[in-house]
Structure 1
């Protein structure tokens, strides 16, 4: 499959534009919690031991390998995290080595009002590898229960938003991604256009509308809550585009920009495979939105989902505008994914 085939298949079903008169309409997509941003996450200041993690001596003597994945819960900046072993394909020697290391972690920039910061980290011990002991960067978990509860009480206007585009704006499709940060139950949110490809008048009308939203169940003691909403401006009811409903992981990765330069390793056998992921196009405007379908959230998949959130699809600017905010389901089979620069791993990423 060529890199452009997935997008081309999606655009094959593009509806013909309907010619209409009168004001254009900005379609309002669903409002979702703002994804965790690694650049602003408290994990950016994580203090870890300077000494490298040593291979357990007895395990080395016995030629044993192992994988340990842990959940970390930071409750205060000067305390070690609470540790939960999420997955272990190793004996106690490896688990104890990991526990000893993460007990030295501290999160000095964690604000008191921020609440518990939860993260996932994986440690891999392979004696015959060039680097026998490796570990991932911890990935922050979003507080989905809190986000779901607050989203349920968000109040928005009932009327449909209509905008009058500038006659100099020749685009048939434009997008505005708006971030809304609520700090009080009865005050307008702080709004910011994270991405905008429409005229200034259209963008201003959308931002003004977002300022009318309220979050009445946010208590005075609660920390701020941020949501993002996607507004799609379609001139004269321009046609819509969408991806294929479902693709394999290999098909999906063949459409990712720079996939042959990616370095990644994931063992799906440790993630309760097989499973299906809902991937919503965001980059390069903002992070892609990624979620699991048909199951409760599994923290064993957090690092893989975070990686998917940072991938950029190989699209022309025009196709990106038509597909921004569209979702595709990715089927993930059991097996492993290992990508290294200058290899052909992207062509056949899954190995049983």
Structure 2
């Protein structure tokens, strides 16, 4: 499997950079990102849905296949979701079958007054396959307006953070990643260390600093907001490797751990291709961050969710160097089909 260099640009994860030296090091704050949703608390965790969608008899008899992608909006725990058709290629009876299927969905854990829960789901009808219908699990969509407002509202200390370097710490590079959860506008956040390869003194200094952060625009009755923050320590002689900051999808997948075990199918022709994705390395320390460059398109939601779950094949030292770095992935038109024990390939449209 061919290896390709990857991005050197700073990622979307919040990044505090400090150079370890004999004198105290200064930490510089860059962007701070809202943390990905925890699956255990996701509004979709209680989704009630039938396990299978039967292939409509007449289209199946006529060997008619197709693709239907829908956006779902849940507004109440005992009501069917509102449905918007994002993409439809195939017979009208296939669309009607999908509409009838998703009309049975319910979200019983949706609390009264909770904002609308949105999701995207794709149904692939393949009459020649042993399993007639493949459909992906709904993917929850984040509210970009609220996330942007929360980032702009966050207040941090104006003075720079100075951290004393330990002469006993021989590591050339180390990281500290935390999740800060705000539950009140005038209270410090709850701070959880998600990953740390730094010494105790530097980690403690950072934790003391982030407890000074405040989120004044958070309403008393609003749901908690979590942010990710990262610190990177480098010795003066650590240096930086040069990496490509933009690659093709094929180049990107060649660097993914266990890519030959994946089984997926994505038709980029239904996603307003070509397009570019921003992917920031987090796994296995934290979740990866994935976003769209340019105009957002909900047809790509499931593909972006899949990218977010991938893990790069890296040595421990290389992981420390690349953690929090971003790469831009160019996605061409065509279809991506991956089967276990088969090489990833992109077919022509």
Question: Is TM (by shorter chain) over 0.5?
Answer: yes
Q: Deviations over 1:183-227 (max 9, x none)?
A: 111111111111111111111111111111111111112111111
Partner in structure 2 of residue 14 of structure 1: none
Determine the C-alpha separation between the residues in 1 that align with 2:77 and 2:26. Answer: 48
Displacement of 1:39 in angstroms is 4.0
Alignment of 1:99-248 (within 5 A): 99-112=99-112, 114-236=114-236, 238-241=238-241, 243-248=243-248
Equivalent residues, number: 340
> 1:300 aligns to what?
299
Superposed CA deviations along residues 157-191 of structure 1, whole A, max 9, x for unmatched, are: 11111212333321121111111111111111111
Secondary structure at 1:44's aligned position in 2? coil
The CA distance in 2 between the partners of 1:63 and 1:305, in whole Å, is 31
Quote the residue 1:40 is aligned against.
Answer: 41
User: In structure 2, what is the equivalent of residue 331 of structure 1?
Assistant: 330
Question: Are the aligned partners of 1:250 and 1:350 in contact in 2 as well (CA < 8 Å)?
Answer: no
Corresponding residue SS for 2:158? coil
Pairwise CA distance, 1:323:
0.7
CA contact 2:21–2:165 (8 Å) conserved in 1: no
Name the counterpart of 1:318: 317
Q: Report the CA distance between 1:144 and its aligned residue.
A: 1.1
C-alpha distance in 2, partners of 1:241/1:140?
36
- Per the alignment, residue 54 of structure 1 pairs with 54
The alpha-carbon deviation at position 284 of structure 1 amounts to: 0.7
1:309 aligns with 2:308: yes
Q: Tell me the secondary structure at the aligned position of residue 42 of structure 1.
A: coil
- Greater helix share, structure number: 1
Superposition TM-score, scaled by structure 1 size: 0.91
Partner SS state of residue 185, structure 1: coil
Per-residue CA deviation, residues 42-86 of structure 1 (Å, 9 max, x unaligned), is: 222211125x31111221233211111111111222221111111
CA contact (8 A) 1:77 1:108 kept: yes
Q: Is 1:279–1:290's contact at 8 Å kept on the other side of the alignment?
A: yes
Q: Determine if contact 2:23/2:165 at 8 Å carries over to the other structure.
A: no
Aligned residue in 1 for 2:288:
288
Q: From the superposition, tell whether residues 306 and 91 of structure 1 become closer, same or farther in structure 2 (CA, over 3 Å).
A: same
